[in-house]
Amino acid sequence: MALSAIGLCSRALLRLGATTIASFEEGTAESEVAANLYPPLRDAVLSSHPWSFATAQATLSRLAADPVADWEAAYQLPADFLRVLSAGPEGTGRGLSYRLAEKRLLCNSDDVTLTYIFRPDEAAFPPFFDQMLIARLTAEFCIPITESTSRAQFLFRLAEDEFRRAKLIDAQQHTPVAISDFPLVEVRS
C-alpha cells in the first residue's frame, strides 16, 4: 500500500506514541513539526543514495547565455532535480566533465544527457524506502515531540540500520557495476 506524506509522518508519530495527523495545517504541535521537518528530510534522504526508483535520465536544454569563463555551454537542470549522478554527451549518460553552478550544469559539450536523482511522488516509494523513511522521521520528530535525547539517539541508531538495509535491497535491483578499463585486469590477458 502506497503511503502519502501525511501517512509517512503519521506512522512516525504513532511510533513515538504521539497523536497522528490528517493534515500539515491542523495547527497541532505534531502537524507543525511534521510540516517543517518532512520536506527537507525527504529530499536529504532521497539525495543520500542513488536509489533506483528515484533515478532518471534527461537530455538537457541548452541555455542562451553562455558561461562567463571556463566552460563553453550552460544547461537547464530538470525541475524535479535533486542531485547529479553523471553526465555524458548525446546518448551517453556518463563520461562528461561538468560543474553545477547557479542551478545550471556547465560543460564543454553541445549535447548533454544527465543521469540524476529526482523527487518522485510518495506513492512511488517502494516499501523498503517507506520503512527507512519512517524510521528516520521517528528519530527526527523525537526531540521536538518528546524532548527525550536518549530516546532520539536510540531511534537514530535504528534509522541507520534501516538505511543500510534499504540500500542493500535497492542495490539488488540492477546488474552490479563491473570493473572496466583497469590496468591490472588488462595485464592478465
Same domain, 46 and 134: yes
- Give me the number of domains the chain comprises: 2
Q: What angle do CA 73, 57, 84 make, to 5 degrees?
A: 65
Among 52-66, 75-89, 139-153, 169-183, name the one with the lowest average pLDDT: 169-183
Same domain, 10 and 44: yes
The boundaries of the domain holding residue 141 are 5-50+121-172
Half-sphere exposure of 110 (CA within 13 A, CB side): 0
Same domain, 99 and 130: no
Is pLDDT of 186 > 90?
A: no
- Could you write out the three-class secondary structure of 56-103? EEEECEECCCCCCCCCCEEEECCCCEEEEEEEECCCCCCCCCEEEECC
Give 39's DSSP letter. H
Same domain, 66 and 87: yes
Same domain, 83 and 105: yes
Which cell numbers in the block locate residue 22? 490528517
Is pLDDT of 188 > 90?
A: no
Same domain, 113 and 58: yes
Per-residue pLDDT of 163-184, as tens digits, reads 999 999 998 887 776 766 767 6
Same domain, 57 and 113: yes
Q: Is 115 helix (H, G, I), strand (E, B) or coil?
A: strand
Residue 183, pLDDT score: 73
Same domain, 112 and 92: yes
Average pLDDT, the chain: 92
Is pLDDT of 185 > 70?
A: no
Residue 46 exposed, middle or buried by CB count within 10 Å (0-12, 13-18, 19+):
buried
Same domain, 42 and 126: yes
